[in-house]
Amino acid sequence: MASIKKGVVYLLLGILVVTQVYPLLWLILYSFKTNEEILGGSFFALPASPRFANYTEAYEQGNYLRYLFNSIFVTVITMVVVIVLASMVAYAISRFRWKLAPAALLVFMLGLMIPMQATLLPLMVMFKNIGILNTHWSLILPYIAFQTPVAVFILSGFMKGIPHEIEESAFMDGASVYRIFRSIILPISVPPIMTVCILTFINIWNEYILAATFISSERLKTLPFGVNSFVSQYTTNYGNIGAFLVMGAIPVILIYFILSERITKGMVAGAVKG
């Protein structure tokens, strides 16, 4: 009886592995097929001989490296600035004595409920007026702003728990608040900072709508936007499309293979604390 139960459970879990992973594997197979094989409709057959040309062609026709570099640039700057600014605010909110601290936290928390799409048009008009529309700054600035609420929340939650004795003794020794922040608080806060890094990376690396709305130059496109315009441009070259999609997914998948536990933990922490 118990073993039947166990068997049923394993069967269910197995089916779930298939539904969650098979579409991704299917895409990889697809990316090595010729157009004839794809259109032939044998959905689970292996390609007769893997067509690597799909990849070289996709690489030559699209600006993969350009997109990749743009995404790295935008994501890294956003991450660094979010961490610096959010940890400063979190420190002030959790450790300084000032009346408006709860109000400041509330203001940031409101941001968690505001849909980013609602700001698209006003931001576009603003950026156009100050002349940064269609530059990477038109992405980086809102990215930073929309990542700060959750970052402030996670960091201030952690910093509240740091024992005050550490700060006090440093203060007695004549260290300034800036010094305490830089040499004591920040090093202690590395674990929540990692969580913030992961959340920011996943959100910004994958962001599509802002990029598609604010960027029009080919050379400024980020990876998701670039992949999407490649795919919509070469609608009938199925193998190349598959190859470009796989190439678009590779960076984040690679990072996930290396850091899967950190990433899942970070995203759970972000969900639970956000």
Residue 70 CB, nearest distance to another protein (Å)?
14
Q: Of the listed pieces 51-59, 60-68, 186-194, 247-255, which binds another protein according to CB under 8 A?
A: 247-255
Among 77, 85, 132, 175, binds another protein (CB under 8 A): 85
How far apart (Å, rounded) are the C-alpha atoms in residues 273 and 203? 16
End-to-end CA distance of the chain: 43
User: Nearest approach, Cβ of 219 to another protein (angstroms)?
Assistant: 19
Applying CB under 8 A, which part among 49-57, 62-70, 188-196, 266-274 lies near another protein? Answer: 266-274
Nearer to another protein, 65 or 97 (CB): 97
Residue 226 CA to its chain's centroid (Å): 16
Q: Which one among 6, 179, 182, 219 touches another protein, defined by CB under 8 A?
A: 6
Q: Which two tokens stand for residue 190?
A: 């590395």
Smaller CB separation from another protein, 58 or 152: 152
- The distance of closest approach from Cβ of residue 37 to another protein in the complex, given in angstroms and rounded to an integer, is 8
Under rule CB under 8 A, which residues in 7-66 are in contact with another protein?
9-10, 12-13, 16-17, 19-21, 23-24, 26-27, 30, 38-43
Among 133, 139, 152, 154, binds another protein (CB under 8 A): 152
CB of 117 to another protein, least distance (A): 5
The answer to whether 251 and 223 have CB atoms below 8 angstroms apart is: yes
Handedness of CA 203, 204, 210, 211 (dihedral sign): negative
Which residues in 89-128 contact another protein (CB under 8 A)?
A: 89, 91-93, 95-98, 104, 107-108, 111, 113-123, 125-126
Site residues for another protein, 160-219, by CB under 8 A, read 164, 167-168, 171, 177, 181, 202, 205-209, 212-213
**What's the CA gap between 208 and 222, in Å, rounded?**
8
H-run or E-run covering 100: none
**Residue whose CB is less far from another protein, 60 or 168:** 168
Distance in Å, CB of 173 to another protein, minimum: 15
DSSP letters for 210-222: HHHHH---GGG--
Nearest approach, Cβ of residue 245 and another protein (Å): 6
Q: How far is the CB of 141 from another protein (least distance, A)?
A: 6
Nearer to another protein, 9 or 53 (CB): 9
Min separation Cβ 127 and another protein, Å? 10
Smallest Cα–Cα separation from 196: which of 136, 242, 127, 265? 265
- Single-letter amino acid code for the residue at 137: W
Buried/exposed code over 112-146 (b: 16+ C-beta within 10 A; e: otherwise): eeeeeeeeeeebeeebeeeebbeebbbbbbbbbbb
Q: Which of 144, 155, 180, 149 is nearest to 165 (CA)?
A: 180
Of the candidates 30, 56, 35, which has an alpha carbon nearest to the alpha carbon of residue 45? Answer: 30
